[in-house]
A and B are shown apart, each in its own frame.
Chain A
Amino acid sequence: MTATNIRLDVPRRRRSFAPYALLIPTVVVLVLAMGYPLVWQLITSLQQFGLAQQFGQPAPFVGLGNYIRLATDPYLWTVVGRSLLFCFACAAVTMLIGTLLALLMRAVPAAIRIMLQIALLLAWAMPVVAAMTVWTWLFDWHRGVVNWVLSAMGLPFQQHNWLQNPLSFFAVAAIIVVWMSVPFVAFSIFAGLTQVPEEVLEAAQMDGATPSQRFWRITVPIIRPVISIVLLLQIIWDLRVFTQIKVLQDSGSIASETNLLGTYIYQLGAGSSDFGTASAVSIFVLILTIALSGFYVRSMLKEDTA
């Protein structure tokens, strides 16, 4: 009985419909919730789709009209430039602080390392909207503790409204984004650092390599794969900050001066029902993300075949 059982199993493994059947639920839900909207969006981005179409009028086909209009719209380029600048600034600061904290965790005694790890984990675990309410409270113009501390230090920050001026709005947003993103970077790089063999570092030290030489010539090359993946993820994630910007805008600032790509799409689509233009900007964001993700996906794929 057992022998036949096994023999029956062999062809099943070689070629069968089983794997396809197992994939059906996933494929169906992905096609439904992502594939269909994606196609709709592609088509709509080639149409004039506004309020009138919301009420059932047919949408005229305008070809690349939406794209051309957007490409010549200085406001879009302002938003794109702003988004890229914000993204790179946040990613750079996050990487720098994250790497320094990872190195710091290696250098301090265990008790302090655990303290640091707990603090970082708590910041990382905070749900984004809950974190946003806390930060708005911290930066509250009237009773916020940030203004109180700065005023106590003799600086002119009494009743200072941080969110009114776009520049300080983005500074606050950047602080929040960095606060939230550093833990992931620090933990990943810390995990990478544990892979640097102790003996190699010691050997280099005995051969007279200075600490900075040891860091740049031995540690960095070994943890380079971690650094590049983490940096890439930061860029991709920081390019699409939506919640933080949206919630800060809600707490009282001028949206048009503080829009990034995500909030701009939201404003176009949900605000002014200009679905054609919203779709065109969305497609632009998707293409940007896919281009950036290519490298990440390739390195994950390598792991899959390994």
Chain B
Amino acid sequence: MKRALELKGTRRVAATPAPRKLRFRGTRLVLSLVGIVVALVWFFPVYWMLNSSLLSNVVLTSNAPSFFPVGGSFDNFASVFQGGSFLPALGMSVVIAVVVVAVCLLFAFLAAVAISRFRFRGRTSFVLAILFVQMLPAEGLFIAQYKLMSSVNLLNSVLGISILYIAAVVPFTIWMLRGFVAGIPADLEEAAMVDGLSRTQAFLRITFPLLAPGLVASGVYAFLQSWNEFTVALVVLQDQSSQTLPLWLRGFIQASASKAIDWGQVMAASTLVAIPVIIFFLLVQGRMTSGLVGGAVKG
């Protein structure tokens, strides 16, 4: 059957080779041009951020925009660092991210082992619960979370916001890690124990190295979530002194409503916030896609 189709196909292609190929080349060229234009359009805002961050306020407020950073400098970046509020916000964001990543990985690893290595009563309910919790919007809970934090005096504290972030991030982290843990055959660990390793040794030498890529991917996911989070931070970290980088950036936009602001500096600030994210994101992009759409895409 398939062979017959192939034969039929070859004959037809052979009969009209030239015009078909030409038409094909024409559409391919048009599509390529469309592709280039779309790529440029999508890239433009990121480019514009970098471009403006290198230009002085004098150039940025001139009548026509400068599309290339000719004569640019890193002065804006220097003024961001000298501004005094960047480093505290950076510190806050880093500390929160480290706490969230470390705790999340630990909790998620334990839970992932439970749901991928054991069949127990309540397992399905637990999986169901984390899938639903993962979908809950921050906006549906943040007022109540604010009240909770204020009642236990944890507003504006690293501990308070970290607890909220861990709860928000751990469900998807479990879901990501689950696949990795399930991919490592339990027999492997047992075989190592038969060969004389203790349970801990077997875990550290056999399972852990195999799990490392999964831990990296989920760790980066947790980092990105906590680094970029805005909604919960907005209500829980209201003090200037405890603001994270997204809140600090938002301060500039708020200021822009009432007065002329130095956009070059704001773009330099945005670049500084975005760079670690872009680097980490490129590392794990593939895994996040397949984790989110799950079994619908195998590959």
Contacts and interface: CB of A to CB of B under 8 A. Distances in A.
A267 to B, nearest CB: 10
A92 interface: no
B267 A148 contact: no
Contacts of B178: 304
Nearest to B12: A206
Contacts, number: 354
A229 interface: yes
Interface in A240-274: 240, 242-243, 246-247, 250-252, 261-262, 265-266, 268-270
Residue of B194, B234, B270 with most partner-chain A CB within 10 A: B270
Interface residues of B, number: 116
Interface stretch (B70-78, B79-87, B208-216, B254-262): B254-262
A285 interface: yes
Residue of B43, B171, B230, B297 with most partner-chain A CB within 10 A: B297
Contacts of B298: 195
Interface residues of A, number: 119
Given A129-B228, A242-B138, A145 B285 contact: no
Contacts of A283: 140
B145 A143 contact: no
B295 A33 contact: no
Interface in B33-71: 34-36, 38-40, 42-43, 45-46, 48-49, 52, 60-61, 64-65
Contacts of B32: 108-109, 112
Interface of A: 2, 5-6, 9, 13, 15-16, 18-20, 22-23, 25-26, 29-30, 32-34, 36-38, 40-41, 44, 101, 104-105, 107-109, 112-113, 115-116, 118-138, 140, 142-143, 145, 148, 179, 182-184, 187-188, 191-192, 194-195, 199, 202-203, 205-207, 225-226, 228-230, 233, 236, 239-240, 242-243, 246-247, 250-252, 261-262, 265-266, 268-270, 275, 278-279, 282-283, 285-286, 289-290, 293, 296-297, 299-304, 306
